Amino acid sequence: MTEKQDVLLARQPIYDTKQSIVAYELLFRENTEVASSTFDGNRATSRVLLSLFTDSDLSTVTDDLPAYINFTAELLNNPPILNTDTIVIEVLEDIEITNELIASLKSLKKKGYTLALDDFVMDPKYQPILPIIDIIKLELPAMDIDQLKQAISHLKQYDLTLLAEKIETKEQFKICLELGCDLFQGYFLSKPEIIKGKKVSANKLAVVNLISQIQAPEADMTELTSIISRDPGLSFKLLKLINSASFKRVNQIGSIHKAVTLLGIDKIKSWASLLALSKLDDKPEALHYIALVRALMCEKLAHYLHPDTPDLFYTVGLLSTLDAFLDQDLAEIILKVSLDQTISKALIKHAGMAGLALKTTISFEQARWQELDWDKLSELGLNLKLINEIHFESSQLAIQLSPGSN
């Protein structure tokens, strides 16, 4: 049986109208296929279903949320036995609509499976299967606003859930929301909503100032203790975090001074910055989760790229989402925050080992595996299986450590 690490896996969240994660689309490639221009969908999907997604593994990968998985025509016609409550079967847009396929879809629907049609655009060829499908994924880049309105108007006659996919900006999200879409997919949460002339709110400025004080290179243990102690909310969250089950401490920590002493200056900077970001309650919990996954993966990669500075790498991963939290260009934010130059260059230019860790992390997050410098990573002792395992572990740990979960 194939080992879990033999399949490169990325989970792309699917959000509801409140920007909460309600499902994941599972994107994957086999190890040997990463650098290849050919991709055998039947082989890859079959191996994933057989080796990775047993019932217990699937719930771990998706945090007990439904998993959307692409099915080829062959798999639709000869489906494996799966739990109907945990799988959403995606019908690929390039599948030929035949009588055999229609019969297969009806059979799957009768068994209780949820069916989604991927990358839908207005085309008469889909008409025979629309009454069978449960979810339509509207491919936003393939349609302008007028075409999108026309498609949604046409689909409203069916009992369908509409999922807008490949949403890259908050503006696109708002348009699709107003047009009546129910679910949303894309990288819009991790990108800033930059509006020229828009002033940063006092709350966000306060968070920027707080992070700047925490991250100041000259800040020592005494000063950090003082900074954190002056902020009751931050103090409470830090003590709650350090006393949570995730840290496995026998004795309760009751003072900020002791917390700072136990964690050390570098780790306290990284965790305090995370908790400072959690003060921005106008952002969805899903963005905090993205920030934490990036931080944890960068931290784990540091053990191979630069073992002496895992906390610096953690900070790079965490602060890479500042633009999305503050709705400003990242380079402009960096000018306002007192950061170590290594961190600044890694964030803006992906420079140095910390920059390599960040680029690797974001590429895995977005399933853009072919963009990675595999030769460089290999020289540093990182192979595909290992990075994939680090990504998986970071995703699971982020669920446990997320500020909203403690």
Residue 38 has pLDDT above 50, yes or no: no
Kindly tell me the sign of the dihedral angle through the C-alpha atoms of 355, 357, 359, 361: negative
Residues of the chain with pLDDT > 70, as a percent, come to 86
pLDDT grade for 57, boundaries at 50, 70 and 90 = low
Position 195, amino acid? I
User: 4 pLDDT band (50/70/90 cuts)?
Assistant: very low
Contact present, 172 and 140 (Cβ < 8 Å): yes
196-205 contacts: CB < 8 A, separation 24 or more? 198/327, 200/326, 200/327, 200/328, 203/279, 203/280, 203/282, 204/280, 204/325, 204/326
Q: How far apart are CA 388 and CA 360, in angstroms?
A: 10
User: Where do the structural domains in the chain lie, given as residue ranges?
Assistant: 4-190, 202-405
| Residues 76-129 pLDDT 10s | 887 777 788 888 999 988 888 899 999 999 999 999 999 999 988 888 888 999
Whether 403 shows a pLDDT value over 90: the answer reads no
Band of pLDDT at residue 303, cut at 50, 70 and 90: very high
Give the β-pairing of 21-30 and 7-15: antiparallel
Q: Which helix (H) or strand (E) holds 163?
A: strand 161-165
Residue 327: closest CA among 201, 165, 186 = 201
Question: Between the CA of residue 296 and those of 276, 361, 391, 404, what are the distances in Å?
Answer: 17, 10, 9, 16
Which letter does DSSP use for residue 369 in this model? G
Q: Round to whole Å and give the CA distance between 360 and 355.
A: 8
Task: Pick 263 or 394 by higher pLDDT.
Answer: 394
Cβ contacts of 37 within 8 Å, gap of 6 or more: none
pLDDT for position 39: 44
Return d(Cα 210, Cα 22) in angstroms, integer: 32
pLDDT digit string, tens, across residues 17-26 = 999 999 999 8
For every residue of 44-59, DSSP letters joined together read HHHHIIIII--HHHHH
Q: Do strands 7-15 and 67-71 pair parallel, antiparallel, or not at all (unpaired)? A: unpaired
pLDDT at 96: 87
Q: Does residue 142 surpass a pLDDT of 60? A: yes
pLDDT > 70? residue 34: no
Looking at per-residue pLDDT, the higher value among 50 and 381 belongs to 381
Concatenating the DSSP letter of every residue in 183-209 gives: EEESSGGGS----TTPPPPHHHHHHHH
Select the highest-mean-pLDDT range: 325-339, 346-360, 380-394.
346-360
Mean pLDDT computed over 350-371: 92
What's the CATH architecture for 4-190? Alpha-Beta Barrel (3.20)
Q: What is the mean pLDDT of the chain?
A: 83
Q: Does residue 2 register a pLDDT over 60?
A: no
Q: pTM (2 decimals)?
A: 0.81
Q: Span 202-405: which CATH code? A: 1.10.3210.10
252-292 per-position pLDDT tens digit: 788 888 888 888 888 888 888 888 888 777 788 889 889 99
The CA distance from 265 to 224, in Å, is 8
pLDDT tens-digit series, residues 147-157 = 999 999 999 88
Dist. CA 299–CA 309, nearest whole Å: 8
| Cα 107-108-112 angle, rounded to 5 deg | 115
- CA angle in degrees (0–180, nearest 5) for 118-121-123: 115
Range with the poorest average pLDDT among 159-163, 341-345, 402-406: 402-406
Mean local confidence (pLDDT), 138-155: 89
